[in-house]
Amino acid sequence: MERKIIRSDFDDMMKMLQEPGHEKDEVLGVYDHWANNYEQDNSLIGYRGPQLTANMVSKLVENKDDRILDVGAGTGLVGKELHKLGYTNLDALEPSRELLHIAKNKGIYKKLFCEGIGTTKLDIDKGYYSAVTASGCFAPGHMPPEALRECVRIVKQDGYIIFLMREVHWNSLCDKLQEVIQDLKARKMVSDIHVEPVPEYHIATEYNPSAIPGIKIVITVSKHD
């Protein structure tokens, strides 16, 4: 099947977002520029991260009023899926102003934080959330593996951290992510670590002739410092 092209700038944008060597501000500039076409384009390339993330939350978080933070919320696609499943207490953290503006207009998030997560402490209390999700946020120039420590800090004991990412990014970041996970494990701050392949993170479409595999990771927080 011949691959259809979405728009002339789309391939350049995708390439830039997947390759290493770009500064954080450059990456955010691309997302700001992409904001108005983001949802339609992701549907054309068969992106399933938000549905898969929400399904995982529904298996783990029983109480629909529990607080959940959607990290790297983008335009709010994960929140939209969680809202459909009945979750009522959703916050969003997203460094791209333009994406966050679209997320805000969905009217499903309570608090919205216009910032990224990394090594700096967020203005969020320890153990505040029952779960933190991040779909598609581990990539070069995006959320760094060290940000996992801050996710652990803001999730309550026995709460969950749920990450989905392209397999290719897991392959390049897994050494560093595993290093952080092993350190947190050694300090008994996290217990169960579940890593599972997702063969159809993106399904094949006429714009995306083969499925793109991904990885899902669920980490259970066991205690804080």
Ligand X SMILES: C[S@@+](CC[C@H](N)C(=O)[O-])C[C@H]1O[C@@H](n2cnc3c(N)ncnc32)[C@H](O)[C@@H]1O
Interacting residues with ligand X (CB under 6 A): 28, 31, 49-50, 71-74, 77-78, 94-96, 99, 116-118, 135-137, 142-143
Name the residue among 112, 87, 110, 89 with its Cα closest to residue 101. Answer: 112
Q: Least separation, in Å, of the C-beta of 14 and ligand X?
A: 10
Of residues 24 and 187, the one with the C-beta less far from ligand X: 24
Handedness of CA 146, 219, 143, 88 (dihedral sign): negative
Of residues 29 and 127, the one with the C-beta less far from ligand X: 29
Q: Least separation, in Å, of the C-beta of 174 and ligand X?
A: 18
Q: Least separation, in Å, of the C-beta of 155 and ligand X?
A: 15
Q: Least separation, in Å, of the C-beta of 163 and ligand X?
A: 10
Of residues 117 and 215, the one with the C-beta less far from ligand X: 117
Q: Least separation, in Å, of the C-beta of 207 and ligand X?
A: 16
Tokens of 108: 């499903």
**Max intra-chain CA distance, the chain:** 54
Of residues 138 and 159, the one with the C-beta less far from ligand X: 138
CA atoms of 24 and 156, how far apart (whole Å): 29
Of residues 10 and 222, the one with the C-beta less far from ligand X: 10
Q: Are 144 and 119 in contact (CB under 8 A)?
A: yes
Count CB atoms within 10 A of the CB of residue 175. Answer: 9
89, 94, 96, 98 alpha-carbon torsion, rounded to 10°: 0
